[in-house]
Structure 1
């Protein structure tokens, strides 16, 4: 058994996945589109949008799609457990572009280098680096 997140966007899934690729998180390894290859199409406006995608990178796997009835993202976050403060700082800055930082990166009461943000697509990210002393 393995748990993975599934992100639902209304129509911006492809742009979000391109953004995560540009941030260096990984790449799309599977993609299916609404109305193609025999997939059902309930809404003509969704034709060609992402029906299902798999995104993978080192230590990362999640799924995503466009759904015209998707609810706004809330109540969940991706947490990335990092082992290098410089890489944590750089990735945090890339993910934060056009988004909102909710907890600036810094040493937290539990001793880790941590920050939280909501990216430009409404996805929450937490980056935690337990090896802050190695910065």
Structure 2
């Protein structure tokens, strides 16, 4: 059951990902931007070129990255990281989501999104941010 760290930045994720790729001797990473998944009309000004998702495989683990959406609060060291549970067992994913939401708050209910049949996010009762994604 992979549990990955997910780091968020405020507009400089591309620079961060390329830096870490260089540090760890990795190939140029694939970087998905918000405008690759949404039309210009759906996005606020300045959001299109921001990084929606990128990842690096480092030492057998996966480190994931994203920029915040323009206007979303960003506080380095406080809300710029989450844990990402990526499973290929939908029942186990849903079970973990429903257990962790008790006493916490749902950010995004489990639903189908362009990159996953089941994706959602929440903050648990201890203030830890979680993302859930069904691996295809």
Q: What range describes the TM-score normalised by the shorter chain of this pair?
A: 0.3 to 0.5
Query: TM-score, normalised on structure 1?
Result: 0.46
Report which of the two structures shows the higher radius of gyration computed on alpha carbons: 1
